[in-house]
Structure 1
């Protein structure tokens, strides 16, 4: 992760946004050496994995009936 102070970030914001977009690496903005913000590429929320399987089970045999 790349870190940069608020004062250094301000004049280079657009350049740094493009860098984050191109590399996918997050950027940490600091205030007096303390991390305060993180800029990272947007990631759409993932669908619930069980939702993706809904309707895909064609036949189910409960374990107790398999013996």
Structure 2
């Protein structure tokens, strides 16, 4: 993902829109900070999902969810 200063982006808008149309995602910066992300259509949902996963990564830890455990249980039984 390429970062582009907002002034550069504004001065060469058609060039950057063509690059985005071709599938590239751009981060638009102002004074070195990202202020916007320009992505091809359909790409925003994937980027949003990736950002949510990145947030969860700092809060969650997923271990081995496939290996059996030593505890016996029956999901179909009525233990109410």
Class of the TM-score when normalised by the shorter of the 2 chains: 0.5 to 0.7
Q: How many pairs were matched up?
A: 45
Tell me how far apart the structure 2 counterparts of residues 25 and 39 of structure 1 sit (CA, whole Å).
9
Instruction: Tell whether 2:20 aligns with 1:20.
Output: yes
Q: Deviations over 1:19-40 (max 9, x none)?
A: 1111x12100001000000000
More relative contact order, 1 or 2 (CA 8 Å, 6+ apart): 1
Q: CA RMSD in A?
A: 1.8
What per-residue deviation string (whole Å, max 9, x for no partner) do you get for residues 8-62 of structure 1?
Answer: 111101110001111x1210000100000000011187xxxxxxxxxxxxxxxxx
**TM-score when scaled to structure 1?**
0.60
